[in-house]
Amino acid sequence: MLYYNNSVEEKYPDVIKYFQSGINNPDKNISHCLLFWGPDITSQCEIALEVARLLNCEKEGEKHCECLNCKWIKEQTHPAVKIYTRLDFKEAGENSDDEKTTGKKNIDKSQAKAIINELGISSDYHRVYIFCDRDEDGNLLPLNKVNFPEVTSNALLKTFEEPPQNTTFIFLTNDKTDIISTVVSRAQAFFIPAKIKEDFSYELVENCIKNYWQTNRNDVLEFENNIMELINSNNPKIIFTQIQNYMSAILKSNFNNKVLYYRIMRDLKYVEEAKRQVSLTPAMNTQTVVENLCFKMIL
C-alpha cells in the first residue's frame, strides 16, 4: 500500500507550510516527537511522509524533487522512513509470552527493543518512524491503548524523550486520550481535520465570522445568534464545514502569525467537535452545541 500523496500540500496547506518553515529554519525548530490526531488517519500518514521527505530532501524540498531521498520516500522504500504497525514486524519475539505475528494485537515489547537497537546504530539519514495501526488489507487505523499499549510506550519513553539526533517520531491517532499521557506530554500535537471534500467555499458564513477573533467577549451572544440563524436555515454540518473552510483560508495567509495560527488551529478543533456533536445519534441539542462553541471561540 502506498500512502505518499503528491497533493498533500494542497489538501493541508497550513500544516505543511508550518513544517516547511520549521524545517527550513536554521535551528530546525520542529519537535522530534509529533502527534497527529483527528478523524482521518490516511491523511495524517500522508502529512507524516511529507514531513519525512522535507527532513530528508537533499535539495530544497520542492514538491517535484527527484533526489534519491525524495524518490525513495515517494515509493515508500526509504531505509530510514518507516511506518510501524503491529503487523509490520515479522521477526520472532524474544519473550515467549509475546503474541505471534498472526493475529498480533499490538506493537509489542520486542518491537520496542528492535527499535531501540536500531537507533543505537548511527544513520546517514533523518530517521522518521511513523506509528499507527492497519488492518490486513493495508487500511490505516489509529493508535489506541490496545494496539499501542502502555508496556510498549513505557519501553520507548526514554527514547521518545531523548532520541538520537536526526530522529523524529510521529504518532497517528483519533484522539489524544487514546495514547498514554506520558507520550502525549512529550509530543507536539497537531489536530488534523478530515479532508474537506465538498469545496473550500465559505460564502454562507463569511459575513458572520469574518475576523471573529477580534470579537469582544461582551458580544458573544450576538455572535452566537448570528451563527444560530445560519444553522436554522441551513444544514448545520455545512455551516460548520464552511466555518472551517474560512479558518483554513485564514491560516493559509497567516502562517507566520504564530498567535493567530495557534488560536485558529485550536478553534478548528472546536468546530470539528461541534460537527461531531450534531451528527451523534441522538444528536446533541444544536443550540447547546453552538453556544458552547461560541463561548470557546470568543475569548
Interface contacts to Zn ion, rule CB under 5 A:
57, 59, 65, 67, 70
Residue 134: count of CB within 10 angstroms of its CB: 19
Give the nearest distance from C-beta 59 to Zn ion in angstroms: 5
Shorter beta-carbon distance to Zn ion: residue 71 or 105: 71
**Euclidean distance between the first and the last CA atom of the chain, given in angstroms as a whole number:** 44
Shorter beta-carbon distance to Zn ion: residue 60 or 222: 60
CA distance 283 to 285: 6
Give the nearest distance from C-beta 62 to Zn ion in angstroms: 7
Give the nearest distance from C-beta 54 to Zn ion in angstroms: 9
Residue 55's Cα: distance from chain center in Å? Answer: 17
Shorter beta-carbon distance to Zn ion: residue 61 or 193: 61
Which residues, other chains included, contact 1 with Cβ-Cβ below 8 Å and sequence gap of 6+? 134, 138
Q: Is 271 exposed, middle or buried (0-12, 13-18, 19+ CB in 10 A)?
A: buried
Shorter beta-carbon distance to Zn ion: residue 7 or 207: 7
Which residues, other chains included, contact 115 with Cβ-Cβ below 8 Å and sequence gap of 6+? 84, 129, 156, 159
Give the nearest distance from C-beta 61 to Zn ion in angstroms: 6
* Residue 81 backbone dihedrals phi, psi, to 5 degrees: -115, 110
Shorter beta-carbon distance to Zn ion: residue 67 or 228: 67
